[in-house]
Structure 1
Amino acid sequence: MKKPIAYIGIFCTIALAAFNCKVDSEEQSTTTTPVVIPNAAGYKAVLAFPKLSFSDPVDFTHANDGTNRLFVVEQKGIIRVFENNATTDKSPVFLDIDAKVASGGEMGLLGLTFHPDFKKNGYFFVNYTRDSPRRQTVVSRFKANGQIADPNSETILFTFDQPYSNHNGGQVAFGADGFLYVSTGDGGSGGDPQNNAQNRKNLLGKMLRVDVNSIEKGNYGIPKDNPYVGNTDGFREEIYAYGLRNPWRFSFDSVTKNLWTGDVGQNKVEEIDVVTKGGNYGWRIKEANNCYDASGDCNKADLIAPVWSYEQGDNGRSVTGGIVYRGKKLPEFNGKYICGDYVSGKIWALTYDGKTVTKSDLITNVSTVSTFGEDANGELYICDYSAGKIYSLAKK
């Protein structure tokens, strides 16, 4: 039976408890209490498409092609497409690669993004896991023919092995620079036993950036200003940033171009990061602002602290990265980062001035927040994994 995606990156199920639910009593807590402002009362989650239901939705996006279409990724290996209309009652299959995908737990079809020139070339990109010939992450390009995609059009950009089944990251998205960004987890188990996130000779525990319009490495190229281009240390040139545990969802602010991600914690702290080129975000030396690996130097000046973090507990146990709101329906949220927690269902609005964050509590009535997304107008949507429903925020 397929395991739920509960506790993205933590997975306190019986089968995986030995990997991810141990408590390290020797961790030294240095976490500071975030600034909190009063509850932003007056909001609720409402069904955006009441007549539609999805099977384990894990990603939500649009093609930016001038149509009114929206796309939802189902973890088992199916992408569905539908009209951005509250009365729509049909969500036909856009792509079915169920036979290629190894799903269950934290594995599956995990990410979708469309080429900036999709309207002309029909290209889109996905991130999924497979177990043949061995357990791997696959980043691929497919091509759409009219209203649906051709499942036989796959061109694999690259793959990398996954030592365990959890911590797969999975997001793919294009930046304003036209390059494809890919988030990867540390390879799984608990505590990053292979220290992958700090090892720049592999692709695990990283934010990657590649040029899909180049073929210098077969089916992709390396942006010339990636931090390790031409290095002689064996560091992977695809790396944009490193030291991440499981950056399950990330997004770009369409105005500032900042790259935001939620990075799922181990046993104590969840974190939100603004990712910069060449940055080291600390894992497994640190879990957010907490010392984690006693053999590492927690005071290293080059470790970048999260912009916001929260202790596991009432707030939740598995952060789901969100988006910076730039829509028009809720102008009071303009420029605020909307994120949440998969376990608690809580959703927050973060106000970031470039140095500090203030938090507003918004709602708690979405049971399992697996991902956030936006339509072509910048309006916000929330996927509820267990209910299979899509919500939007509204005033009460």
Structure 2
Amino acid sequence: MTFDSNRRQFLALAAGSAATGLAGCSQSADGPAGSGQATTDSGAGGTTTAVESLPESVGLETLATGFEVPLDVAFAPDADLRYVADQRGRVFVHGSDGLRDDPFLDLRETVTVGSETGLLGIALHPEFAENRRGFVRYSAPPRSGTPDDYDHTFVLSEFEATGDGTQADPDSERTILEIPEPQGNHNAGSVLFGPDGYLYVGVGDGGSGGDRGAGHVEDWYDAVPGGNGQDVTQNLLGSVLRLDVDSEASETPRNGGGETADGEASGSRSYAIPEDNPFAGGGAGLPEHYAWGFRNPWRMAFDRGRLLVADVGQSGYEEVSLVEKGGNYGWNVKEGTHCYSADDCPDRTPDGVRGGEPLVDPVIEYPHSGDGVSGVSVIGGHVYRGSALPDLTGAYVFADLSADGRLFAATPTEGGLWPTRVLPVAGDDAEKVGRVYSFGRAPDGELYVLGSGSDGGGLHRVVPAE
């Protein structure tokens, strides 16, 4: 992703100088309004509620700059090392001695870079200290099995790192999964290991707008044509996948295009299917699916066993959902809590579609225009569990692509939409994050922000405001 066009191209950078689109394109041209509201809370109807216990603002401690478009960060479990994935194809290593000259991994000759394509995500195996296994998610030119009229191929690969964890062997690449991508946008990119040891992979709906057009299959909902978000049989698009990368069903990577005429999955797998995946036994869907009904899940995070997934909206609303196994999160029937492109819509599938499963509403929603919490493309974050900002403990901190010096903080509740407010970045630190691309949480619970601003692309730690 080059992040220099408009927000329809990925993270949708709506204003002038920065890169565009990684998070995935809403169509509204309206940028965020009201960057200084400290206690506004977004709800389905745009109502506001005070969130009293959170800090008034936070600061940012800059650890490294000079990145082009830093999109993800992973943390070594056994050393003071941070691995920063840059969209253009390199993974850099940052340690106590600063940013190292030699990258951990250089895939610039392999990766296809566009407004929403490139090197999109990185995850380290839970036993990285012992096995040095790292996983990356990137976009490649069309490969075998990708139709001629498709844009590119989604690739999930594994690399083996050196004993000190500072470099990956480029010749050690083992392709885990390939998925044909019909358009160049809505590619998601998150890869992360859950507390169960399985690898979770976010996959967008295949691009274009409204989950329709070439590469978008028919589904059960007739009011809006398409699409991949509501289908779990034809392809792996519009879903969160769950894979067992510590076991192999075969040695050949699977092309995630769907089923053959006799109903068998096309291709073979270099991973196993967790036994409790919703369709592990076959039948109603492809076995990789964990949850579905997503447009462009841009960043996922676990907190104490709960999976939070931020999904970029189309034309009106951004959302974050608490995701559970087998859940249907509504796209393209709904956008957030609202009917998409229809005056009314169902809250569940028909009885003949997986038993009439409910369409699960998000826990966070905000509009594309208005004062306070608003923006163009949601950037998923993490729940704060560090010690530097005790008033932030337990809050979900996230942002919008067009950050303009603002973060957001949501207070989890047991039901309904979570109270959400602007969390301003104080003083000159606000200039560091004109755009926010991603977040990371270190093993000690402290939060990191990847973004661009006055110092270019940078890695920053969230700290108390001075």
Note the aligned Cα RMSD (angstroms).
2.5
> Which residue number corresponds to residue 444 of structure 2?
377
2:278 partner amino acid: P
Matches within 5 A, 1:51-90: 52-64=65-77, 66-83=78-95, 85=96, 88=98, 90=100
Within the candidate set 422, 441, 445, 1:361 is matched to 422
Is residue 95 of structure 2 the alignment partner of residue 45 of structure 1?
no
Within the candidate set 411, 433, 444, 1:351 is matched to 411
TM-score under structure 1 length normalisation: 0.89
Partner Cα separation in structure 2 for residue 3 and residue 172 of structure 1: 21
2:307 partner amino acid: L
> Which residue number corresponds to residue 395 of structure 1?
465
Shifted more, 4-13 versus 70-79: the winner is 4-13
> Which residue number corresponds to residue 21 of structure 1?
27
User: How many residues were matched structurally?
Assistant: 381
User: Where do 5+ consecutive residues of structure 1 fail to align?
Assistant: 24-29
> Which residue number corresponds to residue 241 of structure 2?
208
Is residue 189 of structure 2 the alignment partner of residue 170 of structure 1?
yes
Change (3 A) 1:5 1:100: farther
> Which residue number corresponds to residue 26 of structure 1?
none
Matches within 5 A, 1:235-246: 235-246=285-296
Aligned 8 A contact 1:34 1:310 in 2: no
Secondary structure of the residue that 1:145 maps to in structure 2? Answer: coil
Q: Which whole-Å deviations, capped at 9, do the CAs of 1:154-183 have from their partners, x for residues lacking one?
A: 000110010000000100000000000000
User: Where do 5+ consecutive residues of structure 2 fail to align?
Assistant: 30-42, 147-151, 217-226, 251-268, 349-356
Is residue 310 of structure 2 the alignment partner of residue 262 of structure 1?
yes
Q: Which whole-Å deviations, capped at 9, do the CAs of 1:89-141 have from their partners, x for residues lacking one?
A: 54530000111100120100000000111111111111101113351100111
Deviation at 1:296, TM superposition (A): 8.5
Shifted more, 314-323 versus 30-39: the winner is 30-39
State which structure, 1 or 2, has the greater radius of gyration over its C-alpha atoms: 2
Aligned 8 A contact 1:72 1:80 in 2: yes
Secondary structure of the residue that 2:409 maps to in structure 1? Answer: strand
Partner Cα separation in structure 2 for residue 120 and residue 360 of structure 1: 41
Matches within 5 A, 1:112-191: 112-133=122-143, 135-146=152-163, 147-191=166-210
Aligned 8 A contact 1:59 1:110 in 2: yes
Aligned 8 A contact 1:60 1:73 in 2: yes
1:390 partner amino acid: L
Secondary structure of the residue that 2:411 maps to in structure 1? Answer: strand
2:91 partner amino acid: I
Secondary structure of the residue that 1:32 maps to in structure 2? Answer: coil
Change (3 A) 1:2 1:355: closer
Partner Cα separation in structure 2 for residue 152 and residue 115 of structure 1: 19
Partner Cα separation in structure 1 for residue 410 and residue 421 of structure 2: 6
Is residue 313 of structure 2 the alignment partner of residue 307 of structure 1?
no
2:161 partner amino acid: A
Is residue 273 of structure 2 the alignment partner of residue 222 of structure 1?
yes
Secondary structure of the residue that 1:197 maps to in structure 2? Answer: helix
Deviation at 1:46, TM superposition (A): 2.2
Partner Cα separation in structure 1 for residue 191 and residue 209 of structure 2: 24
1:114 partner amino acid: L
